[in-house]
Amino acid sequence: MKKCECGSYAINDHLHGRDGTDQDLCDVCYWRKRAGKSSLDIVELLDALKETKHRLEKLHEMFDLATAGDKTLAIINTQLRKHLYEN
């Protein structure tokens, strides 16, 4: 009987929604490994969102500089900021 690295013999690689991979892992370690991977995906996604937000803020600053003195464009930029960040 196969044994997982954690000491468990509960290796059911075709049960409990398992896809047949990681046959050396018990059911708990199998799902723990996948939960860890999706946490990493979420961290990467949040980093990408932060970077996107930073770039948008830079774009607004550039727009402000490029349109300095134009009241209509300043109002549009302010409204755009509200729409993007306050929803």
Closest CA relative to residue 23, chosen from 39, 1, 40, 52: 1
Residues 3-22 interacting with Zn ion (rule: CB under 5 A): 4, 6, 8
Please work out the total of residues on this chain that contact Zn ion, with binding judged by CB under 5 A.
5
Q: How far is the CB of 4 from Zn ion (least distance, A)?
A: 3
Report the distance separating Cα 59 and Cα 66, nearest Å: 10
CB of 24 to Zn ion, least distance (A): 9
Q: CA-CA distance, 22 to 68, in Å (whole number)?
A: 60
**Looking only at residues 23 through 42 of this chain, which bind Zn ion when binding is defined by CB under 5 A?**
26, 29
Q: Which two tokens stand for residue 59?
A: 């774009």
Least distance in Å: CB of 36 to Zn ion?
Answer: 13
CB 23 within 8 A of CB 3: no
Binding site for Zn ion (CB under 5 A): 4, 6, 8, 26, 29
